[in-house]
Amino acid sequence: MHKTRLRIRFTKTGDLRWISHRDLARLWERLLRRSNLELAFSQGFHPKPKISFPSALALGIEAFDEVVELELEGEFELEDVRQRIDRELPIGMQLLSIEIMPVGAPKAQVVANKFRVELPNDYREATCRQIESVLAQPQLEVVREGKSIIASTLSPHFNLYVDDGWLYFMLPFTRDGSLRPSELLDCVGLGDLLEQGAVLQRIEVVLETVARAGTNDLSADSGEREDASHDAAMDNQSY
C-alpha cells in the first residue's frame, strides 16, 4: 500500500505548553484519527506508529515553530490533508506548513533551537553587560549531573542578544548533550526569571539543510497560512 510521509510545522501555545512530549504525540495520534488519516506502523512484534518529533520541548515553554514527521497509509493531496488536520486542531495549535517528503529522504536533523523571553525593564542593562561577558568567552560550560556540557559561542548556531525588550538566543543542538535554555539564562544572570512568571518561547527549530528534489510544500501563506527509544532519548534532552 502506498504511504505518504509528511513534515509538519505547527505552534503549541497557551495551555498546551503544559502538556508533555508524550502527551503531544498522543494528541497528534488522536487528531489524525479524527481527521480520518491512518498512521503507518513499523513492522515486527511490537509495531509502533511512525511519528517522531526531532526536538522534544520541556513543559512550560511556548512553541511557535514545532516540527513533527509522520507517515500515513495511503496517497493524499497536500491541500486535502491540510484541510482535514486544520479542522481538528485544538486551541493553542496552528498549522504553519506541511510538506510531502520524498521516499528515502532522511529524517529531520536539528542543528539549533531559537528562543526568546521578555525582559523586565530593570533587568535589561545588567543583562546586556552579562551578554558582553559571555560573548567574550570562546565557550560556555555547565556541569549537569556530573557531566560537562559545552556550547561554543563561536558556533554559527550560537547567538545571544537583546532587541526591543526581549532576550533572544540560539543554542546549537548535539545528540550527546546540549545547553538547555534554563542553563543559558543562568549564565546571563536570569536564573530566577522563569520562576517570576516569565514565559520562555521557542521560536524556531532549525533543521539541517539537505537538498531534496521533488519535494512538495504547502505553507500557511499559500493556503491559510522513532520509536520509543528515540522518544526516551529526546525526553532526556528536552528544550
The tens digit of pLDDT for each residue in 59-115 reads 999 999 999 999 999 888 899 999 999 999 999 999 999 999 887 778 889 999 999
Kindly tell me if the per-residue pLDDT of 28 is higher than 50: yes
Task: Please give the Cα distance from 153 to 130 (Å, whole number).
Answer: 14
Rounded average pLDDT over 176-186: 92
Same domain, residue pair 149 and 102:
no
**Residue 50's CATH number:** 3.30.70.580
How many distinct structural domains can be found in the chain?
2
pLDDT above 70 (res 237): no
| pLDDT tens sequence across 144-170 | 988 999 999 999 999 999 999 999 999
Q: What would the mean pLDDT of 168-186 be, rounded to a whole number?
A: 92
58 shares its domain with 117: no
pLDDT the model gives residue 3: 86
Which residue range forms the structural domain that includes residue 11? 3-109+209-235
Q: Residue 58 corresponds to which cell in the numbers above?
A: 520541556
Label the pairing between strands 62-73 and 201-207: parallel
If asked whether residues 136 and 180 sit together in one domain, one would say yes
Specify the pLDDT at position 105.
79
95 and 9 within one domain: yes
Q: Are residues 105 and 118 in the same domain?
A: no
Confidence category of residue 238, pLDDT binned at 50, 70, 90:
low
Say yes or no: 197 and 124 in one domain: yes
- pLDDT tens figures, 190-230: 999 999 999 999 999 999 875 443 444 454 433 333 333 33
Whether 123 and 101 map to the same domain: the answer is no
Question: Within this chain, do residues 51 and 75 fall inside the same structural domain, yes or no?
Answer: yes
pLDDT of residue 186: 95
